[in-house]
Structure 1
Amino acid sequence: MDRITTEQLTRMLVGTGTPTGPLYRRLSESLAELIDRGELPPGALLPPERALAVALTVSRTTVVAAYQELQTSGRLERRRGSGTRVRTHARHTVSSWELAGDHASSQFLDGTPAIDFMTAALPSLGIVADVAASLTRDDYLQLTTTHHGYHLKGLPSLRERIARWYGGSTAPDDILITSGAQQALELVARGCLQPGDRVIVEEPTYRGALDAFARTGSRLRTVPMDGDGLDVDALEKLLVAEAPRLVYVQSPGHNPTGVVMSADRRRRLRRLLDRYEFVLVDDTSLAGTSLAPTDSTLGTHDRLVTVGSMSKLFWGGLRLGWIRGAPQTVGRLAQVRGISDLGSSLVAQEVARRLFDHYEDAVAERRTTLPVQLRVLTGLLQQHLPEWTWHEPRAGASLWVRLPDRTATQWSQLVSRYGVALLPGAVFGAADDHTRIPLMLPEATLREGIERVAHAARERR
């Protein structure tokens, strides 16, 4: 990409650099980091100083000083009438096929500011440590002497356990174990899509899914959603007009909004699957984090692929997910997986198998703690940022908040100077007037973070 827009660069800067020091130096270090990683490719044309200054809510002098410092270090070249470009031979460590600053994994690559509002992960449940510690030497011997260690589809006993958990007609051959839900989405994208295929997603949607589909060269279309889930009527119009290859939804718990799809929308969506030729991917990663009991299953279908995860409910460090689909679909995706990965850790899969015996207890524990944390966060927002608004989530570990008077991307840059890392809504494919705030941080951390954001707002006024 030759020209980097102001909006793109502002999003890429989120989570880069250091939170201390003069503004021009911090901006310079952030840009240098993007150049050195190859995310700003050689020859890329950067935004004009004035436009970038407005987007970042800093003075034009700050941007000029940062550009000049990067020119001195040999990373930028500036010519009157031609603008500011990354030098063709600028030092960088990786090449980039796209603007990596928007990637879902980017907040995990580097150190974060003192208060991280970017990551909406749940703390580990105590049962994870208990189950992991319960494995004995005999258990390990059982794994190592009865298995060669390579299972493309996953540990047979875990696949059987997940099939029983689903019940009905689900069989072990319908299950493919993956290293988390993100790998599951990558496999579905690689196995089902070709460059140019049309993919329909909700607006907004999970940013990791956007990454996975973008890497296949697919053309994305969006469908609006409300408190009951995606607009099924709007989806049907797109199905007729676009003939998409794949539709991606999150019916039991939506990231980032926390919406749970209504029973009526689920029935109507299922009927569309019977009437039109497309693959429906239902990401159920947040199913265990609903704040109230709900039945949100879409059932089974030859063209329905369900993605599940242990990481959201039990612990992010337990990188175990799965795909449920027709046996021929599972077999095809297992072949795709074998190109780069011969299977997930058998030890982790054995821990996951045992954790399924505690699944309902884990759901009950989350259902107790999440509403408490939600009340804490919303109380802090009402006290310190009363102009921010939201709808109560019904699932998940975050709050989707609407900002009243500026873009969320500008807010993310502003509050980073106060030691708070905030994700703009644009990275979720949404209008840039929203941000996502995690629930499950310690109350003192939530309070400090919200107070810093409020302080930043007062200072800018």
Structure 2
Amino acid sequence: MRFTLDHHSKTPVYLQIKQTVLAAIRDGKLSPGARLPATRELAQALGVNRSTVAMAYDELLADGAVESFVGRGTFVARQKLAEVAPLEGRAARRTPLRKMVWEGVFSERAQSPVVESLLDLYQVSTLRDVISFSGSFPDAASFPTRDFRNSLHFAERTLGDEVYRYGPVAGYERLRDYLAQRMRESGADVTTENVIVTSGSQQALDLIARALISPGDAVAIENPTYPGAMTAFALAGARLLSIPVDEDGLCVDVLENVLKVQRPKLVYVVPSFQNPTGACLSWERRRRLLALARQHNLPIVEDDYGSHLRFDGDPLPHLKALDDTEHVIYVSNFSKSLLPGLRIGWCAAARPVIARLTAFKQNSDITTSPLLQSALWDFCRRKRYEAHLERIRPIYRARRDMMLEHLRDDFPSGTVWTTPAGGLFLWVTLPAALDATELLYQARQQGVVFSRGRLFYSDNPKRNTLRLSYGHVSLEQIERGMRVIGSTAKAMLSRVASRAAERFHSQTVPLV
């Protein structure tokens, strides 16, 4: 079995190892029951960290491709044989059937690096019995379940069977009225006809990609950025043009230079508490970005998951509120601030855009739950949403502050991080010698997980970065989890320094 690893590939090394082993099993080069090399042995042979091989083996074990036995090692799983019942009128016979081998059946899109990264992020964010700084979820303890349950009952009583039928594809009209009014209050020129309700903002991004992107089109996208957006555009066939992000958000000057030589179909931006860095696009950059959009007839997809989660400083206007030429397609949701299980988002854009998004939604899921939409409208019209936001903002500020405190006290010297004024997460850059993949593996053994930064890059991933989410973890969990990550990072850095010193001394030739 030969391994050919590409350390510059967007596919993580551990997934490359996994795919090589699966290919060898599928091609018969590894037979059922064959023993795989020990993790330490294979790591040394490939020149990678042992934790990288261990993660590959964990993936293979989860897929059922291998079996692991304490003290014995890891082996290719023996094919389980099913028995076919005897056919009527024939002598009974036992016919072994091989299980379906799904590797190699999936489309190229389903096996693309962006999908693999999204699967990786999902698997970590859904782990149980750990302290998870991974998923960007709101605080479950603050869910206004009682108030929302009352709104559900109200919707059932007043609308009756209507809430159990198919509703309008573009959404429940009263909810669309409310969303349009809310946007007008923020300064945007939006009417009900400019709004479509979607099953979360992820569906909105998918509909936008399907409506605007043809295979081969370029999309300018922040780097790093939200993996769900990368996936939506990449699966539509887009080429991703990576535009860097700094403490003031998207580097608009870089975008301006790109526009001199390329013609992207659109630019995607998270201007408020950018995912994953937490940066806010400055006032000046917002103005410059809109000017570029007008100059180049460039649509802007504004993903606003959390401008309403600001707990420090003065708010900045939405791009949509500054847009008087209909260049901005605005996307938002209630998942990050209210109840993730609602799966209700919305999009506000020019009427021709909404018309096409509505057509694609009709072919996607027909409608978003009328019951949940009508209940959400009742919840919002009673001002319960604003009251909920007022309650959770100080909670998130306290959690961010504790996370910052432990970054200062517990992490190795040379670590830098962002200090977001709102949102649900912050961005950490470790000393260059550290690898967040190995750090995640070691922290996971101690019951703590986070999101590796490399999963958020469309180009040139930085292996020493990570995103830490504070929205859904308690102060006690932050205290314990941050100490685990910090102490583990310090220990790793100490080992790196020791190995470097050993290499230096072993290579030193004494003068005689």
Question: TM-score scaled by structure 1?
Answer: 0.82
Q: Which deviates further from its counterpart, 160-169 or 324-333?
A: 160-169
Q: 2:170 aligns with which of 147, 153, 156?
A: 153
Tell me, in whole angstroms, the C-alpha distance in 1 between the residues paired with 2:407 and 2:218: 39
Distance 1:44 1:271, change over 3 A: farther
1:411: which partner in 2?
Answer: 439
Q: Is the 8 A contact 1:309 1:320 kept in 2?
A: yes
Tell me, in whole angstroms, the C-alpha distance in 1 between the residues paired with 2:456 and 2:235: 16
Tell me, in whole angstroms, the C-alpha distance in 1 between the residues paired with 2:296 and 2:76: 58
AA partner of residue 296 (structure 1): P
Q: Is the 8 A contact 1:402 1:434 kept in 2?
A: yes
For residue 233 of structure 2, give the secondary structure of its aligned residue in structure 1: helix
Task: State the 1:138 CA deviation.
Answer: 5.8
Q: 1:394 aligns with which of 421, 424, 431?
A: 421
Task: State the 1:352 CA deviation.
Answer: 2.1
Task: State the 1:431 CA deviation.
Answer: 2.1
Q: Is the 8 A contact 2:144 2:388 kept in 1?
A: no
Distance 1:11 1:234, change over 3 A: farther
Task: State the 1:115 CA deviation.
Answer: 2.0
Tell me, in whole angstroms, the C-alpha distance in 2 between the residues paired with 1:349 and 1:244: 35
Q: Which runs of 5+ in 2 are unaligned?
A: 30-35, 61-65, 68-72, 80-97, 496-512
Distance 1:217 1:333, change over 3 A: same
1:451: which partner in 2?
Answer: 483
Tell me, in whole angstroms, the C-alpha distance in 2 between the residues paired with 1:145 and 1:63: 51
Distance 1:322 1:368, change over 3 A: same
Q: Is the 8 A contact 1:403 1:434 kept in 2?
A: yes
Q: Is the 8 A contact 1:200 1:248 kept in 2?
A: yes
For residue 247 of structure 1, give the secondary structure of its aligned residue in structure 2: strand
Tell me, in whole angstroms, the C-alpha distance in 2 between the residues paired with 1:61 and 1:349: 45
For residue 452 of structure 1, give the secondary structure of its aligned residue in structure 2: helix
Distance 1:52 1:423, change over 3 A: farther
How many residues align structurally?
428
Tell me, in whole angstroms, the C-alpha distance in 1 between the residues paired with 2:222 and 2:45: 30
**1:264 and 2:281 aligned:** no
Q: Which runs of 5+ in 1 are unaligned?
A: 14-26, 76-87
1:143: which partner in 2?
Answer: 159
AA partner of residue 355 (structure 1): F
**1:205 and 2:225 aligned:** yes
2:262: which partner in 1?
Answer: 242
Tell me, in whole angstroms, the C-alpha distance in 1 between the residues paired with 2:138 and 2:479: 18
Q: Is the 8 A contact 1:125 1:315 kept in 2?
A: no
**1:368 and 2:364 aligned:** no
Q: 2:384 aligns with which of 353, 358, 377?
A: 358
Q: Is the 8 A contact 1:407 1:432 kept in 2?
A: yes
Matches within 5 A, 1:284-303: 284-292=304-312, 293-298=314-319, 299=321, 300=323, 301-303=325-327
Tell me, in whole angstroms, the C-alpha distance in 2 between the residues paired with 1:278 and 1:458: 46
Alignment RMSD (CA, Å): 3.6
Q: 1:426 aligns with which of 454, 457, 461?
A: 454
Q: Is the 8 A contact 2:155 2:375 kept in 1?
A: no
For residue 182 of structure 2, give the secondary structure of its aligned residue in structure 1: helix
1:334: which partner in 2?
Answer: 358
Question: TM-score scaled by structure 2?
Answer: 0.74
Distance 1:43 1:246, change over 3 A: farther
Q: Is the 8 A contact 1:201 1:222 kept in 2?
A: yes
**1:103 and 2:118 aligned:** yes
AA partner of residue 220 (structure 1): L
Tell me, in whole angstroms, the C-alpha distance in 1 between the residues paired with 2:276 and 2:222: 11
Percent identity (aligned):
24
For residue 318 of structure 2, give the secondary structure of its aligned residue in structure 1: coil
Tell me, in whole angstroms, the C-alpha distance in 1 between the residues paired with 2:249 and 2:53: 43
Tell me, in whole angstroms, the C-alpha distance in 1 between the residues paired with 2:430 and 2:124: 25
Structure 1 or 2, whichever has the larger Rg, is 2
2:508: which partner in 1?
Answer: none
1:78: which partner in 2?
Answer: none
AA partner of residue 157 (structure 1): R
Tell me, in whole angstroms, the C-alpha distance in 2 between the residues paired with 1:137 and 1:61: 50
